[in-house]
Amino acid sequence: MLLLLSLLAPSYAAEVTDMAPGAGALIGVHYGGSALSGRLLESGTAIADRRVQRHDLDVTLEIAPIEGLAITAALATTPSWRFAYPDARQMVSEPASGSGSYLPGGVVADTPVIQAGGLQGVWLGAAVAPFAERYAGTAGSTWRLDAGFRPGSKGRNLWTAGDNGRRGAAPGGTAFKLQGAFSTDRGTGHPYAQVTWIREGAVAVDVSDENGTNWGELELQPASSLQLRGGVEIVAFESAPGETPARFAVDLSAAAGYRSWEDVASGVYLPNVLESGRQIPVTVGDQMMGTLGLGFDYHAGEIVRGRTGATFTYAMPFRVEHVYDVRTSADTYTIGWSFTVQAAPRFIAEAEPIAQP
């Protein structure tokens, strides 16, 4: 092990390809917040504003028995998730079509609000860095490959309201995650690319609404997602060899995302719905989005790492529930912000490089 450590070059990689030091650990706390703003339209007419605020808090752990290989775990929580629909109209039944429409209804007195929060799930997995610029004699790029599994959380899910009217945050079913990230050191810049795929599994849950009405068990299929992200970390400061390790970089990124269709319980993504629609799963249309990001990444000493970031996301319109002619507006956008603090302790001290004859 000491021989392996002695062959490692003191080189940084982009944040997306960072690994726990071997043998060592990477412990992190991540907070992410977002605020979505948009409208809901029926036949081109606005029937409600749409405001979604979300706050996530994750605790992550990587344990690396050797350099380049880690066992990973993450506790994903959403302390607060709020769906609000200001200036919403009341949906009424149309006898001619047998469906519902917001157009004849008047504006409701109180803003419809759905509150949710709690545990999303526990991710368990592994990460490997088969190639890295810090390995002596390897190619000039760093890879990180991840695979993860999340058990189901049927007890506190988004589709079932509790006795207090508050919903859970979990999709409900199991999920699988595959992720690959690649970066290279170009001196003052570290270009990188990352692809993330999350496959959500089907789940049967007992559906109930905020009024305490139980609508029975429904077979649901939460949405899966795919994101392609690329960017560059511009190194503003990096300590010289032999000095206390320190680094500060500015991260500029862009991403394209796809969220698949999903079969879910009615009444979460709309301000109010007909009772007849709650008795069946409703299909939410698939959607595409683009994101621009700005981040600041810093390392202080051997152990402390941190990151602060902000994002702007534009989402294409999609049909909210297949039983109603309602779509999101083309002016929908999301502002996001995040803070991450990590510690990267080693289990054994790093050896001094072997002097060359």
Q: What is the mean pLDDT of residues 283-301?
A: 96
Q: Which of 20-29, 77-86, 131-140, 293-302 has the lowest mean pLDDT?
A: 131-140
pLDDT at 237 over 50: yes
What is the pLDDT of the chain when averaged over all its residues? 91
pTM of the model as a whole: 0.91
Question: What pLDDT, on a 0 to 100 scale, did the predictor assign at position 13?
Answer: 66
Nearest CA-CA partner of 107 in 86, 125, 126: 86
What are the boundaries of each domain within the chain?
Answer: 2-343
pLDDT at 153 over 70: yes
pLDDT at 137 over 80: no
CATH tag, 2-343: 2.40.160.40
pLDDT tens-place string over residues 166-213: 999 999 999 999 999 999 988 889 999 999 999 999 999 999 999 889
pLDDT tens-place string over residues 140-151: 899 999 999 999
pLDDT at 3 over 90: no
Three-class secondary structure assignment of the chain: CHHHHHCECCCCCCHHHCCCCCCEEEEEEEEEEEEEEEEEEECCEEEEEEEEEEEEEEEEEEEEEECCEEEEEEEEEEEEEEEECCCCECCEECCCCCCEECCCCCECCCCCEEEEEEEEEEEEEEEECCCCCCECCCCCCEEEEEEEEECCCCCCECCEECCCCCECCECCCCEEEEEEEEECCCCCEEEEEEEEEEEECCEEEEEECCCCCEEEEEEEECCCEEEEEEEEEEEEEECCCCCCCEEEEEEEEEEEEEECCEEECCCCCCCCCCHHHHHCCEEECCEEEEEEEEEEEEEECCCEEEEEEEEEEEECCCECCCCCCEEECCCCEEEEEEEEEEECCECCCCCCCCCCC
Quick one: what percent of the chain has pLDDT higher than 70? 92
Q: Which comes out higher in pLDDT, residue 25 or 9?
A: 25
Q: What is the mean pLDDT of residues 7-28?
A: 78
